[in-house]
Homo-oligomer: A and B are copies of this chain.
Amino acid sequence: MSKELVFGHKVPDTDAIVAAMALAYLKKQDGYDVEAVALGEPNAETKYVLDYFDTKAPRVISRAKPEVDKVMLVDHNEPQQSVSDIDQLTVTDVVDHHRINGFNTAAPLYYRAAPYGCCSTILTQMFSEEGIKIPKKLAGLMLSAIISDTLLLKSPTTTDFDRDALKALADIAGIDDYEDYGVKMLKAGTDVDSKTDQQLIDGDAKSFTMGGKSVRIDQINVVDLDDITKRADDVKKAMEAEAKDKGYDLFLVLVTNILDSNSELIVVGEPKSVVEKAFDNKFNADDIMNLPGVVSRKKQVVPPLTDALEK
């Protein structure tokens, strides 16, 4: 069996890095020759997690074809979120918890998706189904991915499966107080003052095609919305330059307060009126929209925006 690479999406978050490591471990037990890699350096939160569980970050690649013909994807499926030469590769496996969009194959494959809060929750189930034990460190990493994706089980994407997996993983990892660990971990990812405007708008950004429009959506986690609001003019300038450079029709930055589960949405590009319609809400004079209770890009931003743009 020829070697395969396993990776999550570009601009990786904790789940994208960890789910790749988990699937690679599982596939190795089944006899596959696989290596977990990443499409970018770990962010501040992921660095904290890897450091805490004494684990090396996966190697970063920008293209896969020079090394392999076949790949496995975790935590994404849309080609524009994947490795740059994805069109030259055969995808043999996908484990994901997002919508399916623009993902086409020539042959049958393994595809495992569920509408859970975290890809690592699906992987926890897969280990259990195959009767394979999750190593202690990996359990700590997977628990961190669930805390990250569900904002400590508070995001509306959270399911009972995520809650059950988190508890099972905490037991294996020997984390007695996962709430205490989780708040520290999430805060480690919210050090926005040390970041440039460019770093902020790149940090957790994903590209989508919706109703023929190229849409970029970034999310910035903070413990105080004002940390971003106070520099919104500069952030918008960076967004405008990036949208022009990369040809995005719309660029949305969702600033989320992880402590009280509220967000502000900063938007550049057009059609803004459709964004207002999507959220049944209005922008203020600075093109910022308050979105109380919105914390999930996947569940509370992408579906209404897709619906509105495809109408």
Binding site for B on A (CB under 8 A): 97-116, 129, 298-299, 302-303, 306-307
* Cβ-defined partner of A104 (8 Å) among B97, B101, B108, B307: B101
A299 / chain B contacts, CB cutoff of 8 Å: 107-108
A to B CB contacts below 8 Å, 10 in the list: A97-B108, A99-B105, A99-B108, A100-B111, A101-B105, A107-B115, A108-B113, A108-B116, A108-B299, A109-B115
Give CA–CA (A115, B99) in the complex, Å: 21
Q: What number of copies of this chain does the assembly contain?
A: 2
- Known pairs A106-B307, A111-B111 / 10 extra A-B pairs, C-beta < 8 Å: A97-B108, A99-B107, A99-B109, A100-B100, A101-B104, A101-B105, A107-B299, A108-B114, A108-B115, A110-B114
Give CA–CA (A100, B102) in the complex, Å: 10
Question: Which has the most chain B C-beta neighbours within 10 Å: A100, A110, A113, A116?
Answer: A100
Chain B nearest CB from A122 CB (Å) reads 10
A100 / chain B contacts, CB cutoff of 8 Å: 100, 103-105, 109, 111
Question: Which has the most chain B C-beta neighbours within 10 Å: A104, A106, A108?
Answer: A108
A302 / chain B contacts, CB cutoff of 8 Å: 106
* Cβ-defined partner of A303 (8 Å) among B104, B106, B298: B106
- Say whether, besides A100-B100, A104-B102, A129-B129, A111 and B109 are in contact (CB < 8 Å): no
* Cβ-defined partner of A112 (8 Å) among B112, B115, B303: B112
